């Protein structure tokens, strides 16, 4: 049964943790496409390609270095996978004298020793493999999630950092969580694993309680998730220091991309004893971490003294009631104006 308005009580669930961006493990890609190129074709089919650097650091064939064998039967993308971190390699690609390759980041991590044969790496660059990579076109690593795009090897990384099909990070802010996935998966994860409050309706009436609030400088209350207009929204409430002033902040995030978030508006309100504070704006996408949204002050900020004033009583306990609503903006085709639509 859907409710148009809900009321619930949240208690602080502990101190706030940093919201690190979770790493996303790439899925196995299909075989890459090798563009028609005489240089690339020669490099891809080459056997015993040897590339080392001279004193000036320039690379060229040198006698005595081990062969780099590129077999046409081997997936080229496997040759471009670093054996240490398993990420795709980008210039400069290094190799030892026996022909084993690894990325420049891992070269420092292995203390200049080949992780395969333990030979010293030196400053040998594998220009042949770099040339092969330059000729490749690969599908986005999120192709299994629906992305149809294909990119040159050296352009693919930039696209993947912004791809609309990339998984979302878990929006939970009460503790560090590295879980990633699509929205339906994260909704189930929040409900089943984090046990967050789940509600239906576009209006809310939420009370936040904390004993001894003057002793707490940083705290995060339990996340609340609302479902309306077929979408999910996360309501956050946190205590932190803004400069020298202790403050509380309520803000809303949209479980989806930024472009879709702009279709919605929201208001947050707190008040008592004849006083009222109201914030209106657009919910932020969960592509932005809760820390990023908080540090941009994009929400309703209440100074501690004012929050205790709104709490009433002897001001020794925080009892802050935050109300609000979410509405959808619809473009009027005749006037071009936006018309708010309330959830029913």
What secondary structure does DSSP assign to 227-268, as a single string?
A: EETTEEEEEEEEEEEETTEEEEEEEEEESS-HHHHTTEEEEE
Which of 33-42, 142-151, 290-299, 321-330 shows the lowest mean pLDDT across its residues? 33-42
- The neighbour count for residue 108, using CB atoms within 10 Å, is 8
Distance (Å) of CA 171 to CA 92, 102, 196, 260: 36, 35, 11, 17
What is the per-residue pLDDT for 123? 86
Q: Is the pLDDT of residue 341 over 70?
A: no
Between residues 287 and 108, the one the model is more confident about: 287
Which of 151-155, 178-182, 317-321, 338-342 shows the lowest mean pLDDT across its residues? 338-342
Query: Residues 8-29: pLDDT tens digits?
Result: 444 444 434 444 433 333 334 4
What is the per-residue pLDDT for 30? 43
Bridge partners (DSSP) of residue 88 are 81
CA distance 319 to 311: 5
Query: Residues 285-305: pLDDT tens digits?
Result: 999 998 899 999 999 999 988
Across the range 72-98, mean pLDDT stands at 80
Across the range 28-42, mean pLDDT stands at 42
CA distance 124 to 221: 53
pLDDT band at residue 281 using 50, 70 and 90 as cut-offs: very high
Q: What is the mean pLDDT of the chain?
A: 77
Q: Is the pLDDT of residue 62 over 60?
A: no
Find, among 128, 127, 103, the residue nearest to 44 by Cα.
128
Residue with tokens 């929204």: 233
Q: Is the pLDDT of residue 2 over 50?
A: no
pLDDT band at residue 174 using 50, 70 and 90 as cut-offs: low
What is the per-residue pLDDT for 251? 96
What is the per-residue pLDDT for 13? 41
The 3-state DSSP class for residue 295 equals: helix
pTM of the shown model: 0.66
Find, among 163, 334, 189, the residue nearest to 257 by Cα.
163
Phi, psi of 144 (to 5 degrees): -70, -15
Q: Is the pLDDT of residue 141 over 90?
A: no
CA distance 107 to 313: 63
CA 222 to chain centre: 21
Which of 44-48, 194-198, 317-321 shows the lowest mean pLDDT across its residues? 44-48
What is the per-residue pLDDT for 44? 39
Q: Is the pLDDT of residue 217 over 50?
A: yes
What is the per-residue pLDDT for 166? 92
Between residues 333 and 314, the one the model is more confident about: 314
């Amino acid at each position: 049964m859907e409710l148009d308005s809900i009321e619930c009580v949240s208690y602080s669930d502990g101190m706030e943790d940093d919201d690190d961006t979770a790493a996303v493990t790439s899925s196995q890609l299909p075989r890459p496409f090798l563009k028609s190129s005489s240089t690339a074709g020669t490099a891809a089919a080459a056997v015993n390609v040897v590339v080392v650097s001279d004193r000036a650091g320039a690379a060229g064939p040198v006698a005595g270095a081990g062969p780099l064998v590129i077999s046409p039967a081997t997936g080229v993308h496997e040759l471009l996978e670093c054996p240490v971190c398993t990420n795709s390699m980008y210039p400069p690609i290094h190799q030892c004298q026996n022909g084993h390759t690894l990325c420049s980041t891992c070269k420092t991590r292995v203390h200049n020793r080949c992780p395969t044969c333990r030979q010293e790496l030196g400053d040998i660059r594998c220009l042949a493999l770099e040339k092969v990579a330059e000729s490749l076109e690969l599908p986005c690593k999120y192709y299994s999630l629906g992305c149809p795009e294909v990119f040159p090897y050296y352009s693919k990384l930039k696209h993947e950092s912004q791809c609309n099909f990339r998984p979302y990070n878990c929006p939970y802010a009460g503790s560090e969580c590295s879980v990633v996935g699509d929205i339906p998966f994260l909704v189930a994860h929040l409900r089943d694993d984090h046990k967050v409050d789940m509600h239906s309706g576009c209006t809310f009436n939420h009370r936040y309680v904390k004993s001894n609030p003057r002793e707490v400088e940083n705290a995060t209350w339990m996340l609340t998730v609302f479902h309306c207009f077929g979408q999910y929204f996360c309501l956050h409430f946190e205590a932190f220091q803004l400069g020298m002033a202790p403050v509380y902040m309520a803000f809303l995030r949209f479980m989806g991309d930024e472009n879709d978030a702009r279709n919605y508006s929201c208001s947050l309100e707190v008040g008592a004893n004849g006083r009222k504070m109201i914030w209106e704006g657009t919910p932020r996408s969960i592509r932005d971490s809760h820390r990023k949204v908080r540090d941009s002050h994009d929400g309703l900020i209440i100074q501690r003294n004012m929050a205790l004033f709104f709490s009433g009583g002897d001001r020794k306990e925080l009892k802050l009631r935050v109300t609000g609503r979410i509405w959808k903006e619809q473009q009027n085709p005749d006037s071009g104006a936006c018309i708010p639509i309330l959830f029913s």
